[in-house]
Amino acid sequence: MLGPAILTMDLYIMRHGIAEDQSHSGADRDRALTSEGIEKTKASAEALKNLGVEFNLILTSPYTRALETARIVSKALDCELKEFAPLAAGGNPDRVFQALTDLDSKFESLLLVGHEPDLSRLISIFLSGSEDLSLTMKKGGFCRLSCLKLAPGQARLEWLLAPKHLVKMA
């Protein structure tokens, strides 16, 4: 006799694409993707589509470079997109966890788009419950976690791909 099915959520995490060094306004939050960043992000989105990756929802930092990255992926995969303030650069992982637990539990697959070093810390906490794992997300990097629940120490690492891997898969 089979036991009850254990439901998991696929949590995908993506760092924004290559961005300009400085925005026209001088504000970090206004830095946009470069033309190379746009092209590589489009290729990455195409690779995700080819892999059959789907998201119920994309949550993104409100910073321009992350928002542009998320829009490219959202368009390619025909997925709903929402700005998610806790993912802004320099965000607190506890705020991200709290905001995620406040989400409707109907989601089976989420993509979070944000910044370093915040994303590496977040992945480390999902996997181990602490920030101690040595991970680095490259610009345009992509990670897949399987989560029993959206809480510290409740995830398993499925993939951690550098952008060059995604571009080659496109």
Domains of the chain listed by start with CATH number: 9-169 (3.40.50.1240)
Give the burial string for 124-140 (b: 16+ CB within 10 Å, else e).
bbbbeeeeeeebebebb
Give CA–CA dist 38/15, Å, rounded: 13
Q: Given this model, what pLDDT does residue 42 score?
A: 96
Q: Given this model, what pLDDT does residue 108 score?
A: 86
pLDDT in tens, 63-106: 999 999 999 999 999 999 999 999 999 988 889 988 888 775 67
Contact 28, 63 (CB under 8 A): yes
Q: Give the global pTM.
A: 0.93
**Nearest C-alpha neighbor of 70 from the set 90, 55, 91, 51:** 55
Give CA–CA dist 49/79, Å, rounded: 11
* Residue 67: C-alpha distances to residues 95, 113, 150 (Å): 19, 8, 23
* Tens digits of pLDDT across the chain (170 residues): 444 445 678 999 999 999 999 999 999 999 999 999 999 999 999 999 999 999 999 999 999 999 999 999 999 999 999 999 999 999 888 899 888 887 756 778 999 999 999 999 999 999 999 998 888 899 999 999 999 888 899 999 999 999 888 888 87
* Residue 105: C-alpha distances to residues 1, 56, 75, 102 (Å): 28, 11, 24, 8
DSSP H or E run through 155 = strand 155-161
